[in-house]
A and B are shown apart, each in its own frame.
Chain A
Amino acid sequence: MTIPRQLAVKIMNLSAGHATPGAREWVEAMSRELDFIENDWSALWWALGSTRVLFKRPHVPLADMSVVPRAAKLLAKTIRRRTLVGSVATLTEAVFFGSFLFAETTLMVRVASALTVAAVLYIACQLYARRAGRLPSDASLAASAEFYRMELKRQRDFHRGSWFWSRQLLFLPGPVLFCVAEAMAQPDSGHRFLAVMAAFMLLWWRAVSLNLRLANNYQRRLDELDALQSRGE
């Protein structure tokens, strides 16, 4: 087997291993086509394309009600992971900005740091309040469906509406003021802090759109569940 072909097979195997549950079947489908591509370089380009499919469809559409308990378990696991990663990130940020409160710096930097620390602690509280609920001990379909519905609603509201926008409104001023304050305190490297602020704003905007997309995703799954229940499957 040539090197490009070996690489193609490796990439495909990696993609299949890391694909989201909803994309796995599609990556598998792409992988099966590899045997029918005669040119090795074409096979490599084909395999590279699979990386664009990897993260599509983060969940498998519900085929019928019997898969709801598994979907509920997966959702709870995802939320647990998010709570953990989010908590570590927010607490790290709180420690970082908190250190400026005790450093020898300007009052404006201290105010900005205090604002940021307050905001990230608020986010940490929200993450805790929206942590995964306890899976029902009663393993019946109805209990699982109810749990799934409640969790989807809670998570949808975490990523949109007042929960979400209050987070954004509180979070934005601190870091922006921090960059402005640092730029004023160190005029020589002021442009560097303004560049950091621009990068931060871009990231913030990206985070906003990602959150709204997640909210839509949860809503879609709710609709899917409603449709299944109304069909009585």
Chain B
Amino acid sequence: MKLRRSPQTSLVLAEFLQASQEWQYGYDISRNTGLKSGTLYPILMRLADLKLLATRWETPESGKPPRHMYKLTADGCRYAREQASQAGRALKLAFSGVKSR
């Protein structure tokens, strides 16, 4: 299975990279990235299928239903950093092209 390199996937990966050691909730990721649930969750599912994302259910506290939480795996962090540096390089190249004109 391949991961489509879409701007939305990059946004999600960047969001995870900001706090790579912390577990995050779906709604928080959606708010921070501005992605709708119907766009975000298929991306999370694909990342989890590729073992780039770890998932777990929160330990329930007094009567509250547990929430699903997400964190990048070690492979996921590596992949996200690679993507970020590639995007940075592409931006740099584009910028130098504009400057030389």
Evaluate contact between A49 and B45: CB separation under 8 angstroms: no
Evaluate contact between B45 and A56: CB separation under 8 angstroms: yes
B81 at the interface (CB under 8 A from A): no
- In which size bucket is the chain B interface? 10 to 19
DSSP majority for the A interface? helix
Q: Mark B1-36, 1 if CB is under 8 A from A, else 0.
A: 100000000000000000000000111001000001
Evaluate contact between A33 and B45: CB separation under 8 angstroms: no
DSSP majority for the B interface? helix
- In which size bucket is the chain A interface? 20 to 34
Q: Which residues of A sit under 8 angstroms from B75, Cβ to Cβ?
A: none
Q: Mark A113-132, 1 if CB is under 8 A from B, else 0.
A: 00000000000000000000
The interface-forming segment of A24-32, A65-73, A133-141, A157-165 is A24-32
Q: Enumerate 15 A-B pairs (CB-CB under 8 Å) in ascending A order.
A: A26-B68, A30-B26, A32-B68, A33-B25, A33-B26, A33-B27, A36-B67, A45-B36, A49-B36, A49-B40, A49-B41, A52-B42, A53-B38, A53-B41, A56-B45
- B residues adjacent to A (C-beta < 8 A): 1, 25-27, 30, 36-42, 44-45, 49, 65-68
